[in-house]
Amino acid sequence: MRPQHTDIAHYSTIITGTIEWQTIKNTRVTLFDLMDHLKQGLPPHFVAHWYHLTSEEMDEVMQFLKAHEVEIERSYAAANARAAAQRCYWEARNRHVLTSDVSQLPLPSHADAHWLALRDTLLAARKKCVEQPNGTHAAPYRP
């Protein structure tokens, strides 16, 4: 049985939603969006400016984060785990596309210099992705 969602609308004048998924009222900005930037070390006033929040709204967000730290951190970790699982799924599903050699495909009849430049840029980006894997990209899939 799923845990019951807790409505947080009565806790704040700017934050709405549930503890599992909080948003800034009248926007699609989640607290997780703000937390990503704050966890990277950006100052709150910069984050507020980026998301067009007043200093009073950002102060209320910071107070809310502090007051509900445990629940929000748990929800944040769960959301990041879901996102990581989805990213792994789609990377595995699309790995053949990323590692395929499109340079061997025939050129379309409408290929012009601009199209060829775009194709070369794509090939270079794919090569870089395959040659320099980071934490989320594994070695190319070879069946």
Note whether 105 and 83 are same-domain residues: no
pLDDT at position 82:
92
Is the confidence at residue 135, as pLDDT, over 60? no
Does 143 lie in the same domain as 77?
A: no
Instruction: Name the domain count of the chain.
Output: 2
Residue with tokens 């996102």: 83
pLDDT class of 43 with cuts at 50, 70, 90: very high
pLDDT, position 80? 87
Kindly state whether residues 27 and 79 are assigned to the same domain: yes
What count of Cα atoms within 13 Å lies in the side-chain half-sphere of residue 58? Answer: 18
Domain membership of residue 34 as a residue range: 1-98
0.75 exceeded by the pTM?
no
Q: How many CB atoms lie within 10 A of CB 52?
A: 10
Compute the mean pLDDT over every residue in the chain, rounded to the nearest whole number.
78
